[in-house]
Amino acid sequence: MATLAIDSAAVEQLRQTWETTPGWRGVLSTVDHKRIGIRYLVTSIAFLIIGGIEALVMRAQLTTSGEHLVSANAYDQLFSLHGVTMIFLYAAPVLSGFSNYLWPLMLGSRDMAYPRLNALSYWLFLAAGIFLYTSIPLGAVPNAGWFDYVPYAARAYNPGLNIDFYALTLLLLAVSTTVGSVNFITTLFKTRAPGMSLNRLPIIVWGTLTASVSNLFALPALSAALVMLFLDRRYGTHFFDASAGGHPLLWQHLFWMFGHPWVYIIVLPAMGIVSDALPTFCRRPLVGYTFVAMSTVATAVLGFGVWLHHMFATGIAPLALAFFGGASLVIAIPSAVGVFAWIATIWNGRPWYPAAMKFLVGFILLFVIGGVSGVMTAAVPFDWQLTDSYFIVAHLHYVLVGINVFPVIAGVYYWFPKFTGRLMNERLGSWNFWLMFVGMNVLFFPMHIVGLLGMPRRVYTYPSGLGWDIYNLIETVGAFIFAAGILLFAINVWRSRTRGKAAGANPWNGATLEWSVPSPPPSYNFETIPIVASRHPLWEERLDEGSGRTVFHSELLLDEKRETLATSPLDADPAAIMRMPADSYLPLILATLLGAAAFGFLFSLLWLAGAALAASTATVIVWLWPQAETAPDGMQHTELGELPVGASGTRSVGRWGMLAVVATEGAFFAYLLFSYFYLSSIATNPWPSTTPTLALPLANTAILIASSIFAIWAERSIARGNTSSLRAGLAISILLGFTFLGLQALEYSRESISATYDAYGSLFYTITGFHGAHVFVGLIMLTVVLVRAFRGHFSAANHDAVTNATIYWHFVDIVWLAVFSALYITPHLRA
Amino acid sequence: MRPSALRRSGAIACASCTWLNACNGTSSYLDATGASGAHEARLGIWLTVTACIVVALIAIALVAAMMRHRAAIGDRGDEARAAGASMRNEIRGGLRWIYIGLSGTLIVLGLTFAGTMVTFGAVTHPPRSAAVIMDVTGHQWWWEIRYTDVAHPERSFITANEVHLPIGVPVRVMLHSADVIHSFWLPQIAGKTDVIPGQTNEMWVEARVPGTTRGMCAEYCGLEHAVMALVVTAQPRADFDAWMRDRAANASVPVAPVPSQGAVVFAASCGGCHAVEGSRALGRAGPELTHIASRATIGAGALENTPANMRRWIANAPSEKEGVRMPEMHLTGGQLDAVVAYLQQLR
């Protein structure tokens, strides 16, 4: 690596700009992606250990038939808490941890696109975890399993707070995951080093990008289902109530529309870890990079089309069964691409086997077993036997432990020297691997057999004499072997943190950018932004790919404020110099407020929930209020040409964030409308139970469209620098928006049925109500923009906030057209 | 895993079978005794064998790849010797793995899909018109079963937690839920079908081999999901018809001028929830008990049906099955004895 002498004063300047204040202020306010990444990793692995302890108690209970270590009630809470903990508080956040830490380092940037959003995402995750576990002291642990089927989860059969804890925990996590995903997507498209084009991204970046896009479209299904569940439980609606036009299968459809993509969301980045780390230990590039990257995307896309395979036994029409069975087989194809690419890489390579590599190779075998048993469950008639038996428990643990936990442990061994500057102990690492690998198979393989012998899942006890005892005994032994492996891992991390061998910048001779900076990396990551020339910047001498050489020490010092480079979405051409916000308490405050709102809803303290949400809105306004440190600041000459400082328009990150938010909100309404059409298609009573009148909503539609037109006029005006037209246009838009809400209220007062009358009423008010809430949010945005317009914040060159607010406003308008067509027009077409 | 091994383990289990008389000691669905179960088992065995072969082949490929350059392990100087051009050739060569692997995968998936569709056709093909209809209602946590003999509608009766199947006769099963979602599963006879409030699911079952097996709820339905079992008896048509006639009639309690003390206590203390045909006990909240003495288990598989267990159960059912809806009955010792004696007559 050629080292250009960088002015030590400049480095000192960078350090002072980027370093978080020491002490507790820094702890609470930091937005450093590396510190947030480590927090994610530590917190989620703590949840892995907690969830593991829950599993050990369950295994102890099942050691022999008729055991009475815990009560049936305790066992049901244990397996529910175990599932929710592992799937939501461990498996996804741990991967966010890796990606948060690694993305900017791999992409050649100084932070994520939205550093404060990153902090918010973590604090919300922590708040959700704490919220869930307060259910233990309150004696109301969720008890309906991680997929929480109604009506067992309905108030009639589950009157305690148990399920409310479940619903509110997952809603908090949905917000956390969504803002995290928006951040990853924007980071990927906007803040890469010049030359880091899409075909040079490390595979973990492909994995997390794909997972993040999936999140935007999958999570709203869960959120919609959770909102309906909470309304059913607390406010007497009937979404899932078969006696009033609802249906329990609506929950299952929505849950698995989310749930199956989620499976890929929690494995694709982990497979990315494998695709990136394995070549290092083989000393050869990954075979079939393009295949593997495309398979990652294909898996996620197909993952949206197989949700029904969780419902093969629910009495679904044979044609649908055949289609979804076929689709579930097809999804094995991209997985096979990965497996053969990894094997081919080892085949080509000169592999060596430190602990990280042992876990990677172990992963391949576990992945194949889990994948093949998955193919078995896609065979519909046989799935009628397999589903809900221990075979499924075996399959899902091979998938989730095999494809998530093993790569995660490998990833920790691989990147620990980067995190801490020290290597983990290899001797302990070897024991760690063998205990976990043997324990894993002794624990989970017999579950296949006992499943084929007819043992159903989620039983707190079982009779003897069915041939199940011996396998259960073996499984319990395996569980404790596996746990010993995890314990060694924890010990190894703890010891190596202070006593490990010094690592240096690139202990494994890795190829990607994160290995070009010191271990641990400085707060500003790169002294100068690198200019990337190939997929393997640190292997260019060896590979000689003929693409030139990566410049590690460019002249892109960018040390005036917290600056990094914004680049174009596909080819990563430089677009602007971005200015990043300073450390901030706002993320912590917002997460605390949302946590307080959750407690408000939990205990039916609506004043608390309302006050917390109002305070949250105020916090968001403060958050988005323009700051001097990130304001546009003319042009700067760089070695890559003239670049604007503090970008605006399509060069800025704001637009991308808004588009991502609009996409996920749009999906939320799509799932609500799906629910409407699903229930109407299976309704046995007349649907709708009352036909809504058209006159008032038609007028309202015209009003909303008119308001959008005035918003367009306002935005066009400021683009020409006309501030007074901007103010007038915004004011009229806002006025029309409030008129819409007033007329909506008038229409509500004229409706003959209520939200608690039947499922149609519940849907009518929920869909129009949520739309109304979005109108209200849009009005707040427009009002803030109007206030800023009066304070002279906008000009022809700089009016991002106007554009973003109008994008949201048009989105609200378009959603209304869909809602109007579905709720008001289709009933008249049918009649 | 070989089916013969499964059968062997079933046989071992049978020897230690405690509470199911004549039980074949397994509920392995690869060891099928029903018509659709047999089709599913054939598919399942095929899939299991294929799965094992696929895992073995890939494991061999993995080990071969790991062994190939074993000599180079630890030789980190190797990097310097590998010229860029030859490395790029290696990568192109490596792509062959992906092409070959994908072709193999497609073949296996194609065969799996074909097998699935063939089996699918065989098990969903509706058989001849039903001779017997079973209306199964799932309750937290027991099964109510109404039998209807289509040729003799008067022989309709209700029983609980036991299923009898005539060999070689397809039985139509209508599935209802009284509360939450359950799943009706007779592993060796047929795959499971969910029992969902708000819709009536339908399935066909046909036993092929005589014997007793265990059926159960397969969808988590709350506290006692684990103890919601059925005793499934497959028997020749003649025996089955005899059983139907017997069940359709009242239990042959000895005729006495004055009802026994047990009958009186039962009607007063238990009749609100349980029914015994021909008596004053008419309750429908709990299982029908007209022929309780001839059933193999108590409490949907909670206990073997012996007089001693019956006494324990009646005295304090929640101590035997935590979540059961039947409360602790505050009966005197004498009353308990009388009720047990009465119930023992209900054959």
pLDDT at A288: 92
Asked if A339 and A361 count as a contact pair (C-beta separation under 8 A), the reply is no
Least confident of A131-145, A603-617, B12-26, B288-302: B12-26
Residue of B nearest to A471 (CA): B9
Measure the CA–CA gap between A491 and A512, rounded to whole angstroms.
Answer: 29
Map residue A645 onto helix, strand or coil: strand
Cis peptide before B141 (omega within 30 of 0): yes
pLDDT at A61: 96
CB contact under 8 A, B55 and A389: no
Measure the CA–CA gap between A146 and A130, rounded to whole angstroms.
Answer: 17
Q: What residues 157-186 of chain A have any CB closer than 8 A to a CB of chain B?
A: 157
Say which of A291, A313, A351 has its CB closest to residue B66: A351
Measure the CA–CA gap between A440 and A431, rounded to whole angstroms.
Answer: 14
Mean pLDDT calculated for residue range A312-338: 90
CB contact under 8 A, A248 and B26: no
Residue of B nearest to A151 (CA): B180
- H/E stretch holding A709 reads helix A695-719
pLDDT at A645: 83
- Indicate the pLDDT class of residue B257, thresholds 50, 70 and 90: low
- Secondary structure string (H, E, C) spanning A735-803: HHHHHHHHHHHHHHHHCCCCCCCCHHHHHHHHHHHHHHHHHHHHHHHHHHHHHHHHCCCCCCCCCHHHH
Residue of B nearest to A380 (CA): B116
Q: Which residues of B touch A350 (CB under 8 A)?
A: 69, 72-73, 75, 78-79
pLDDT at B240: 94
Q: Does A56 touch chain B (CB under 8 A)?
A: no
Tell me the shortest Cα–Cα distance from B59 to chain A, in angstroms. 7
Tell me the shortest Cα–Cα distance from B253 to chain A, in angstroms. 33
Say which of A389, A464, A544 has its CB closest to residue B218: A389
CB contact under 8 A, A387 and B218: yes
Cβ contacts below 8 Å, chain A against chain B, sum to 310
Q: Which residues of B touch A347 (CB under 8 A)?
A: 64-65, 68, 94, 97
Q: Which residues of A touch B184 (CB under 8 A)?
A: none
CB contact under 8 A, B191 and A72: no
In this prediction, what percent of chain A has a pLDDT beyond 70? 98
CA R_g for chain B: 28
Say which of A348, A351, A458 has its CB closest to residue B91: A348
Say which of A313, A372, A467 has its CB closest to residue B9: A467
CB contact under 8 A, A465 and B13: yes
Tell me the H-state helices in B145-302.
237-248, 261-269
> Which tens digits make up the pLDDT trace of A202-254?
999 999 999 999 999 999 999 999 999 999 999 999 999 999 999 999 999 99
> Which tens digits make up the pLDDT trace of A638-652?
888 888 887 666 667
The answer, yes or no, to whether residue B19 has pLDDT greater than 70, is no
Interface ipTM above 0.85: yes
CB contact under 8 A, B69 and A350: yes
> Which tens digits make up the pLDDT trace of A431-473?
999 999 999 999 999 999 999 999 999 999 999 989 999 999 9
Say which of B37, B97, B190 has its CB closest to residue A287: B97
Residue of A337, A343, A390, A474 best to disrupt the B interface, most CBs of B under 10 A: A343
pLDDT at B78: 52
> Which tens digits make up the pLDDT trace of A513-559?
999 999 999 999 999 899 999 999 999 888 877 778 888 888 888 88
- For residue A745, count other CB atoms closer than 10 A to its CB: 10
The answer, yes or no, to whether residue B17 has pLDDT greater than 60, is no
CB contact under 8 A, B73 and A543: no
Q: Which residues of B touch A72 (CB under 8 A)?
A: 223-224, 226, 322-323
pLDDT at B24: 46
Measure the CA–CA gap between A612 and A602, rounded to whole angstroms.
Answer: 13
Nearest one of B21, B36, B26 to B3, comparing CA atoms: B26
Residue of B23, B81, B112 best to disrupt the A interface, most CBs of A under 10 A: B112
- H/E stretch holding B143 reads strand B142-149
Tell me the shortest Cα–Cα distance from A552 to chain B, in angstroms. 21
> Which tens digits make up the pLDDT trace of B201-245?
999 899 999 999 999 999 999 999 999 999 999 999 999 999 998
Tell me the H-state helices in A402-466.
406-420, 426-452
Asked if A420 and A500 count as a contact pair (C-beta separation under 8 A), the reply is yes
Measure the CA–CA gap between B306 and B287, rounded to whole angstroms.
Answer: 17
> Which tens digits make up the pLDDT trace of A757-772?
999 999 999 999 999 9
Q: Does A560 touch chain B (CB under 8 A)?
A: no
pLDDT at A686: 84
Q: Does A331 touch chain B (CB under 8 A)?
A: no
Q: Which residues of A touch B54 (CB under 8 A)?
A: 368, 372
Record the tokens describing residue A476, joined without a space.
């319990």
pLDDT at B82: 55
> Which tens digits make up the pLDDT trace of B271-298?
999 999 888 889 999 999 999 999 999 9
Choice between B3 and B146, residue whose per-residue pLDDT is larger: B146
Phi-psi region of B3 (alpha: psi -120 to 50; beta: other; left: phi over 0): alpha
Q: Which residues of B touch A455 (CB under 8 A)?
A: 27
Least confident of A12-21, A164-173, A486-495: A12-21
Residue type at A479 in one-letter notation: A
Strand B162-166 and strand B229-235: pairing? parallel
Tell me the shortest Cα–Cα distance from A129 to chain B, in angstroms. 24
Q: What residues 113-152 of chain A have any CB closer than 8 A to a CB of chain B?
A: 144-145, 149, 151-152
Measure the CA–CA gap between A673 and A767, rounded to whole angstroms.
Answer: 8
> Which tens digits make up the pLDDT trace of B190-200?
899 999 999 99
CB contact under 8 A, A456 and B218: yes
Phi-psi region of A721 (alpha: psi -120 to 50; beta: other; left: phi over 0): left
Mean pLDDT calculated for residue range B141-165: 92
pLDDT at A543: 80
Q: Which residues of A touch B93 (CB under 8 A)?
A: 348
Which residue is associated with the tokens 């500003």?
Answer: A524
Asked if A490 and A457 count as a contact pair (C-beta separation under 8 A), the reply is no
In this prediction, what percent of chain A has a pLDDT beyond 90? 78
CB contact under 8 A, B98 and A151: no
The answer, yes or no, to whether residue A290 has pLDDT greater than 70, is yes
- Indicate the pLDDT class of residue B2, thresholds 50, 70 and 90: very low
The sign of the dihedral angle between the CA atoms of A223, A225, A230, A235 is positive
**DSSP track, B289-300:** -TTGGGSSEETT
